[in-house]
Each structure stands twice: as C-alpha cells, then as structure tokens.
Structure 1
Amino acid sequence: MNEQADGGYRDFQRWRPSVEVAFWVALYTLNAVFNGLVARIDNARTAAWEPWVWESSSALLILLLIPFVKAVERRWPFRFDTWRRSLPWHLLASVAFSLVHVAGMVGLRKLAYGMVDQHYRFGAWWPNFGYEYLKDIRSYFVIVAMICLSRLWLLRQRGEAKLLAAPDDGPPVEPVERPERFLVRKLGKEFLVAAREIEWLQAAGNYVNLRVRGRDYPLRSTMAAIETRLDPARFLRVHRGYFVNLDYLAEIEPLDTGDARLHLRDGAKIPCSRRYRAALRERYGQPAAVE
C-alpha cells in the first residue's frame, strides 16, 4: 500500500466539503462568464449590464439548487443497475428544479432591473417555461452526471473489493462460494484481504462496505447475497444493515428499547436490533430473554 497516497486521500477527505463547494462555484462562474459574453454579442442593442444580470441570476439559482439535486441522487441513486427505477423520480425532480430555478432567477432579475428603475419582462409564463425547462433538464442531468463521476472516483481512491473469481483452468485455490480472501483495489494497486480480518460489514445501497483496519472497502453486492458467502461460525447478522465479526466484538450494551449497542475493539459502535439480539445471546451461551 502506498502510505503517502493513502495519506493524501485522507487529507482530501478533510477538505472535501470545501473542495466540492469551490468546484461548483468555479464551474458555474465560468459558465456564466462565457454565456454572458455570448449573450452580449447576440443582444448588442441591450444595455451592457443586462446579459450579465441574466446569466449571473441563473448561475446563482443553480448553485443554490445543487444540494437539492444531491439529496435526490442520494435517495434514488443513478447507477447502471438502478437508473430505470430512479429515472422517473429524477424526471419529476427536474421539473421542481426548473420551477424553482425559473421563479428564482426571474425574481432576481426583477429586483436588479428595479434598482435602475427599469422593468424586467419574462413574457408569457407557459411557453417561456417550456423553453427554460429544456435547458434546465440538461443542467439537472449534467449535475447528476458530475455527482456520479465524483462518486466513482472516490470509490476508486478509497478502495473497492470484489470476490475472487474461479480460475479459467484448474480448481479454484479456495472455495469460491465462501471465500477466505477478498481482492481489494485501491490507488491503482491490488491486494488481498483475509475474510477473518473484516471487522464488520455495513449495507450502503447497492454496496456492502467491508470494514478492515479502520478503512471501508465497498463490495458491489447486497446483504442477502453476501450472507451466503460469510462463515456463520465467525460472522453474525446483528441488524438489517450490519454483520459483525464476533472475533472483534468487545462489549454488548443493552438498551431500554430491547435493542443493543455493540462495542468493537476498534472503538466502533454498531446497532443490534431486538430481532437479532436473541441470536447473539444464544451464540454466547445465554438463553434468549422472554419478552
């Protein structure tokens, strides 16, 4: 493992929110400048300041709407295996995006024009909104595409795991149905992680995060699919979204709700729902409590 590169990635994670804001601001500032120059050329008879008001008001509203697009994409991830289910929701969200964008930029333009004792005319709402929506749906999906690309890049930097496939010729070196190792790719390098070193697993959409020595490695799988691959003598499901390696379990903290909180050796705390708590007690030779 390249520790210098890994350290650089950790540093980037600390600065990630600021970097993301700076990226979007720079992108739409440049877009507003270029569009403003084109609009100034196309509308030479207008006052010199008007094209800049048009473009800056549009860019500002889009910047304010980016958190909304990110929230929609988190709720309905736009990926190769989910885009068909997610597309209708994103199309609906693009209409809301456009309505807020158009209403907001028209309001800002009216305000700017009013400051110089002029009146801004948007024209008839319906045909003009249709024209604006054609532009806004493109902007909406450009933002979604940028979000997806950044996620793929971060997954590559953070590291991705996959199951070892059976070789083309000869018997597999280990049971493929219940692998003893996972192949991890990180920062352009590949290495093996022993299954026994996985401290816990967490569901994350279409991925399952493998927690290994303080790092998360997303495995493209579902919890139901990975459950059949785990050694039941070592791993136990403790929550709808969590498996824990019992070798790393340090403490079970009962909660008043009937659930529990699991403390692991690395200091992590994992929820244990009432549904799975009985199996955990029985694993350690304690009879399940009578409700």
Structure 2
Amino acid sequence: MTTSVYPDPVPAAMPAWLRSHAWALVYWLAFLLVLEPGNVLRASQAGQLLSLPHEALRILVAAMLGTTVTSVIQILVERFPLHGPHRASHFLIHAAAAAGLALTLILASCFLAAWVFAGKWLPSWDEMWDQLMGNFTLLMFALAALTALVQRRATPTPAPSDTPAPAIDVTSALTHVEIKRRGQVISLALSEVDWIEAQGNYVALHVGAEQHLVRDTLSRFADKLDAGKFLRIHRSMVVALDRITAVEALANGDSLLHLAHGDPLRASRTYAAAIKAIRETKR
C-alpha cells in the first residue's frame, strides 16, 4: 500500500490559497483599525484633520500590502514548524524572517504613500526613518501573531487521549510511501524511517539526516502505520520503536527518547502509559 506526495484532485468551493489570504486580509484590517484611534489622536494634536476617504483608502492599501506576506509565512511555518525538537532554531529563523518582512513592508508602504498620496516618485529619507522608528516594533508583533495563527491553523487537532485508536490489520498496514528524491519519484520503505513529524499540511519522514515530505495529516498517516513498529509520542510526532535506545524520564512527566541516530525526541506525558512500557523494555 502506498500514499502519494501529490494531493488528490478534490474540488473546493474556494481555493486554499484564496481562503488563507482572505482571513489574512481580515486580520490586517482588524489590526490597523485597532491602531487607527491613535493615528487620529496624534493627527489632532499636530493640528491636522484626517479625512475619512483618505484614511479608509490608506487602511485598505496597508491591509492588502500586509496580506501579500501570508504565503511567505505559510511556507516558513511548513518548512520550520514551531514545535518538535528543532523549535528553538526554527524560532530564530522566524524572528529573522519577521524582521526582514517588517522592513520590507515599511519600505513598500513609504513608496506607495509617496506615489498615491504625495504625488512623487520617491519618499524622503526622513519619512522612511520616521516610519521605521514608529512602526517596526508594531509590525514585528503583528507578524509574530500572524505566524502563530498560521501555525495554529496548520496543526491538526489531536484526538482525545483517552480514546483508543482503532486496531489496524498488520497485513494492510502501510509499508512504503512515494517520495520525490533528486527529481524522481521513488518508493521509500517505512522500515528506513527513524521518526515522523507533522509540518503543516504535510508529514516529514526523517531518514537519518534526510527529510522527506508527504502531503497528509499526522493523525491520518499514523492510522495507516503498523502499531507494532511505530508509536505516537506527541500530537506532532511518531517514532519507530526499533530506533529507541533509551528512555529518560523528566520531572514534569514528559520523557526524552534517545534514538540510535540523531537528536533525542521529547515525548508528551499524554502518552505516558505507552512510554512507560517502552522504558521497561529498555532497562
């Protein structure tokens, strides 16, 4: 039995990319409307009167500009999820990306404001510096919140821990998956996989230092595996039982699984009963 990296051609009422950009537009509109009273107050203190049409157009253009970074954030979340054993390094990648995106959005907004509202080709250095000093931190916060929302939407809701998973017939369990390697589609034996991780709308199969993506949710993919060879240890991770060399109990009830190759994996205390059974066999 195999599963493919390519999605099934199921028609949707609205394309996924359009849905994601639609809710991102709503997010940016809400964010900008929350800030608008402060803009009106500062303009009033400076003796300026902001016209409603001007502000409505400015907010709409700014929201559409912010929405353009949604695809970039989705790609980053899928490639560098904020969970799992590498979340610390992934957090630094997201922070650097947010800083770069914030700077890009500020510069783009300065040029758009100059073209649309000031009737000139280039903004002044003072205008760009003022926008950078006034909005960089706010944009970093907005991008961090958007990243968290994208991560939340991409992470499947785990089934209740007290509900036993239905038994799977070993003879029908998944043994191979189709992956792309060096531009070619090959069949990868699951016996080569060390552990499996959820990454957005994909599962990442870790084979030594390599990683292969399969389009599926972790819950659905895990249901196809042989329960005698693979174990769910976290809502976002599954591990091959024969790769576990030692189990280390942690103070908070979690466990640290040491593998034959690679970094150890942190197992959630939600799966404590299964982990305890493994720990007994490894003593």
TM-score by length of 1: 0.51
Matched, 1:228 2:242: yes
1:193 corresponds in structure 2 to 167
8 Å contact kept, 1:102–1:132: yes
Q: List per-residue Cα deviations over 1:253-287 (Å, max 9, x = no partner).
A: xxxxxxxxxxxxxxxxxxxxxxxxxxxxxxxxxxx
Q: CA deviation at 1:222?
A: 6.5
1:216 corresponds in structure 2 to 221
RMSD over equivalenced CA pairs, Å: 4.2
Q: 1:229 to 1:12 in 2, by over 3 A?
A: farther
1:68 corresponds in structure 2 to 72
Give the structure with higher Rg (CA): 1
Q: 1:17 to 1:120 in 2, by over 3 A?
A: closer
Q: CA deviation at 1:87?
A: 1.9
2:92 corresponds in structure 1 to 88
Q: List per-residue Cα deviations over 1:109-147 (Å, max 9, x = no partner).
A: 1111145x8996672544642432211210111011101
Distance in 2 (CA, whole Å) between partners of 1:47 and 1:32 is 15
8 Å contact kept, 1:62–1:101: yes
Distance in 1 (CA, whole Å) between partners of 2:66 and 2:78 is 18
1:146-225 equivalence runs, <5 A: 146-152=149-155, 155-156=156-157, 160=158, 185=159, 190-194=164-168, 196=170, 197-200=172-175, 205=197, 215-217=220-222, 219=232, 220=234, 225=239
Q: 1:41 to 1:118 in 2, by over 3 A?
A: farther
Q: List per-residue Cα deviations over 1:185-219 (Å, max 9, x = no partner).
A: 37x9653232614224587545668989xx43484
Q: 1:142 to 1:79 in 2, by over 3 A?
A: same
Q: Secondary structure at the match of 1:194?
A: coil
Distance in 2 (CA, whole Å) between partners of 1:132 and 1:23 is 22
Q: CA deviation at 1:82?
A: 2.8
Q: Letter of the aligned partner of 1:226 in structure 2?
A: A
Q: Letter of the aligned partner of 2:242 in structure 1?
A: T
1:56 corresponds in structure 2 to 60
Q: 1:227 to 1:191 in 2, by over 3 A?
A: closer
8 Å contact kept, 1:32–1:59: yes
8 Å contact kept, 2:111–2:123: no
Q: Letter of the aligned partner of 2:76 in structure 1?
A: V
1:83-122 equivalence runs, <5 A: 83-115=87-119
Q: 1:25 to 1:130 in 2, by over 3 A?
A: same
Matched, 1:134 2:109: no
Q: 1:149 to 1:227 in 2, by over 3 A?
A: same
1:181 corresponds in structure 2 to none
2:263 corresponds in structure 1 to none
Q: 1:101 to 1:204 in 2, by over 3 A?
A: farther
- Aligned residue-pair number: 189
Q: Secondary structure at the match of 2:111?
A: helix
Matched, 1:21 2:21: yes
Distance in 2 (CA, whole Å) between partners of 1:21 and 1:75 is 19
Q: 1:144 to 1:20 in 2, by over 3 A?
A: same
Distance in 2 (CA, whole Å) between partners of 1:47 and 1:217 is 56
Q: Which stretch has the larger CA shift, 22-31 or 40-49? A: 40-49
Q: Letter of the aligned partner of 1:216 in structure 2?
A: F
Q: CA deviation at 1:89?
A: 1.2
Higher relative contact order (CA closer than 8 Å, sequence separation 6+): 2
Unaligned runs of 5+ in 2: 1-9, 176-189, 206-213, 224-231, 245-283
Distance in 2 (CA, whole Å) between partners of 1:63 and 1:228 is 45
1:39 corresponds in structure 2 to 39
Distance in 2 (CA, whole Å) between partners of 1:24 and 1:98 is 16
Q: 1:13 to 1:54 in 2, by over 3 A?
A: closer
